């Protein structure tokens, strides 16, 4: 009996130590295969890294060295002798891992990362860093951290080749260093495409040397701060003090920087709509009288959306499809764009082009008669086909938003499906290559929480909804689905900190949807990982939204004129506390259990969430009269 009892205690002790030694694996995006072990690899004071001699790997090694030394205070020695190393990077032959896959093996003595291509080694390094404590992302030394990596075997490769984020630099301008900062955050989560929205009504951000007014005029606008799309008329001679643009040298630097991190940059020149900045620079590109008085939009209303899409333009922001000067202009622009960006695709927009000015224009009517065009969408298709030929002449492929399908375009045009999934599904069935970026899952300019704590936007996209994104929807021809991306439009985003706030953590959800097998996705597990990665972003000084800790608030009107408020948490494990007496609640205040009846005379509802007696969410202050307006 005594012997059996002692054996039981020994086995329990071993089991406990094994569990303690095995840290949870919290990698985003979730790898294809993870097999945990016991024990850990302790990062030595002198870290010896071996890697093949390769110019493609030079920046990767520099990146790894910087990460492993900055926070830890350790040193790194590189060698080509794998036997002398404790972290070994190796390129292997074979095609099982593809161009971006890798294997990562951690033993108590050594770390091995193997891949077919340099990109795979880079992504293996991202996973390795995520196995280290969150403090590894610090930009200065951190003390009292156990720099250990759990023993594990990982085999991983992406589900899709196009894993993108779109950054709109037209509505608000971001410096070269800020774009690099955005790229640095992207690559932690294995994104490989930066969609660069360079032109719009609010600004032309790319130097075109053959058309200098595009930046001397089109890159600058009146400076207004507040709620975009609500600003009033300009004052007389109000200066155009806000703006900026990228020179050729800036673009070359960004392309180089992105390429070293295995990111391709796809430029977008948004035409024929969204072209007010270009028309302000060169009014002859319009066929509407008075275009010489136009200026880049500064946030005033220019479209009437009351009838839906396409909108009714209050002024003509379109390049004229019946104007031959437009095609000469596009040839000059695309010549320089093609030279600056090595990526195979150029995005030419095509979205939201209003029709009302075209419908009344004599030149457009003459074009329709001459070319046998029956509808205005066919007029836009005429434009798209002509600019596609220009793109092809530059040795590139064209991509456009899904509106370009409406009048019929060449099968060689790739489609970015944003108005839901339907257009992308249909385009893939017709043999168009497709990138899925539907508003329902991937528009990260939308609010990610309740309007009481988020900057008001006309739509909402919670993290759990982004996590439901399936870039291979039912009915699509998977052969033609390149991948997907999230889009960050920046009308309301004035600086890089807020751009980061809107991107993360929804960027986690999109990355896992694009990289990981669908069957590996698990919401509860993802939430646990997300909270760990919040700590990583804090150390990295990257901003993020804590909206997952704030409940959604809905209001119903009851018989008798009373109002009931429902609180719905996005994640489990939270308690929601509230007050109607204007005082700030804490965890000693009443906890939400059922819909709250607004008391007579109350003017404000205040809500706070807790987890395990620690404050989790933000103080939500909701005026009763505003709550009542939420009733549909």
pLDDT tens for each residue of 314-336: 999 999 999 999 999 999 999 99
Name the CATH topology of 25-156: Chitobiase; domain 2 (3.30.379)
Task: Please state the φ and ψ torsions of residue 422, each to the nearest 5 degrees.
Answer: -60, -50
Count of Cβ atoms closer than 10 Å to residue 417 Cβ: 28
Query: Following DSSP, what letter does each residue of 410-445 receive, concatenated?
Result: -TTSEEEE-SSSHHHHHHHHTT--EEE--HHHHBTT
**Is the whole model's pTM more than 0.75, yes or no?**
yes
Catalytic residues: 200, 274, 352
Do the strands 111-115 and 102-106 form a parallel or antiparallel pair, or are they unpaired? antiparallel
Alpha-carbon span 369 to 330, nearest angstrom: 24
* Residues 79, 82, 88: CA angle, nearest 5 degrees: 90
Alpha-carbon span 542 to 544, nearest angstrom: 7
Residue 81 · residue 48 · CB < 8 Å: no
CATH, domain 162-545, list 3.20.20.70, 3.40.47.10, 1.20.1730.10, 3.20.20.80: 3.20.20.80
Residue 322 · residue 363 · CB < 8 Å: yes
Q: What integer pLDDT is reported at residue 24 of this predicted model?
A: 77
Helices 324-340 + 248-260 axis angle, to 10: 50
In Å, what is the CA distance from 47 to each residue of 61, 457, 497?
12, 48, 34
Alpha-carbon span 131 to 287, nearest angstrom: 59
Alpha-carbon span 608 to 555, nearest angstrom: 18
* Second-level CATH architecture of 550-629: Sandwich (2.60)
Alpha-carbon span 197 to 216, nearest angstrom: 19
Q: Which helix (H) or strand (E) holds 21?
A: helix 2-21
Two tokens at 140? 């200065």
Positions in the chain short of pLDDT 50: 1-3, 5-21
Residue 258 · residue 187 · CB < 8 Å: no
Buried b (16+ CB within 10 A) or exposed e, 346-371: bbbbbbbbbbebbeebeebeebbeee
Nearest CA to 224 among 212, 213, 234? 234
Q: Please state the domain extents for the chain.
A: 25-156, 162-545, 550-629
pLDDT tens for each residue of 256-307: 999 999 999 999 999 999 999 999 999 999 999 999 999 999 999 999 988 8
pLDDT tens for each residue of 109-163: 999 999 999 999 999 999 999 999 999 999 999 999 999 999 999 999 999 999 9
Residue 84 · residue 48 · CB < 8 Å: yes
Classify residue 307 by its DSSP letter.
T
């Amino acid at each position: 009996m005594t012997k059996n009892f002692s054996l039981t205690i020994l086995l329990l002790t071993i089991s406990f130590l094994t569990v303690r030694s095995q840290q949870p694996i919290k990698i985003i995006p979730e790898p294809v295969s993870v097999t945990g072990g016991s024990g850990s690899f302790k990062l030595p004071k002198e870290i010896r890294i071996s890697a093949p001699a390769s110019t493609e790997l030079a920046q990767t090694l520099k990146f790894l060295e910087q990460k492993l030394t900055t926070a830890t205070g350790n040193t790194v020695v590189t060698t080509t002798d794998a036997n002398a190393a404790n972290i070994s990077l190796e390129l292997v032959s074979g095609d099982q891992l593809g161009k971006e896959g890798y294997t990562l093996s951690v033993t108590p003595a050594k770390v091995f990362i193997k891949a077919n291509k340099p990109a795979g080694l880079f992504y293996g390094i991202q996973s390795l860093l995520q196995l280290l404590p969150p403090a590894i992302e610090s930009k200065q030394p951190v003390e009292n951290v156990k720099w250990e990596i759990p023993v594990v075997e990982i085999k991983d490769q992406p589900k899709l080749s196009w894993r993108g984020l779109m950054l709109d630099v037209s509505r608000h301008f971001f410096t070269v260093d800020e774009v690099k900062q955005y790229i640095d955050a992207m690559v932690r989560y294995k994104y490989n495409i930066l969609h660069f929205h360079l032109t719009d009504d609010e600004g032309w951000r790319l130097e075109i040397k053959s058309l200098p007014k595009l930046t001397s005029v089109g890159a600058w606008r009146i400076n207004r701060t507040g709620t975009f799309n609500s600003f009033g008329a300009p004052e007389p001679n109000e200066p155009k003090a806000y703006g900026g643009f990228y020179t050729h040298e800036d673009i070359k630097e960004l392309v180089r920087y992105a390429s070293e991190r295995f990111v391709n940059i796809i430029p977008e020149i948004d035409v024929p709509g969204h072209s007010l900045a270009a028309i302000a620079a060169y009014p002859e590109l319009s066929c509407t009288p008075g275009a010489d008085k136009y200026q880049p939009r500064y946030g005033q209303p220019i479209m009437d959306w009351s009838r839906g899409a396409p909108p009714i333009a209050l002024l003509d922001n379109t390049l004229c499809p019946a104007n031959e000067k437009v095609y000469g202009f596009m040839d000059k622009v695309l010549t320089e764009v093609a030279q600056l960006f090595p990526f195979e695709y150029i995005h030419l927009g095509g979205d939201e082009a209003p029709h009302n000015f075209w419908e009344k224009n004599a030149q457009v009517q003459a074009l329709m008669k001459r070319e046998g065009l029956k509808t205005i969408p066919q007029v836009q298709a005429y434009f798209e086909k002509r600019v596609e030929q220009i793109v092809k002449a530059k040795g590139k492929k064209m991509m456009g938003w899904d509106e370009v399908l409406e009048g019929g375009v060449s099968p060689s045009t790739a489609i970015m499906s944003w108005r839901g999934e339907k257009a992308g599904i249909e385009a893939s069935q017709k043999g168009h290559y497709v990138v899925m970026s539907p508003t329902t899952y991937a528009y990260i300019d939308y609010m990610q929480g309740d309007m009481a704590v988020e900057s008001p936007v006309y739509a909402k996209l919670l993290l759990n909804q982004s996590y439901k994104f399936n870039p291979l929807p039912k009915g699509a021809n998977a052969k033609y689905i390149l991948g997907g991306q999230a889009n960050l439009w920046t009308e309301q985003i004035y600086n890089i900190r807020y751009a980061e706030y809107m991107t993360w953590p929804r960027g986690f959800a999109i990355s896992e949807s694009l990289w990981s097998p669908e069957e590996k996705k698990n919401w509860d597990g993802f939430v646990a990982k997300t909270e760990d990665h919040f700590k990583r972003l804090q150390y990295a000084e990257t901003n993020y939204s804590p909206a997952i800790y704030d409940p959604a608030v809905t209001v119903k009107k009851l018989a008798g004129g009373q109002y009931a408020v429902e609180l719905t948490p996005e994640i489990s494990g939270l308690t929601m506390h509230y007050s109607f007496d204007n005082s700030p609640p804490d965890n000693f205040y009443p906890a939400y259990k059922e819909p709250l009846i607004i008391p007579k005379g109350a003017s404000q509802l205040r809500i706070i969430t807790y987890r395990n007696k620690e404050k989790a969410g933000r103080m939500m202050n909701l005026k009763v009269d505003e709550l009542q307006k939420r009733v549909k």
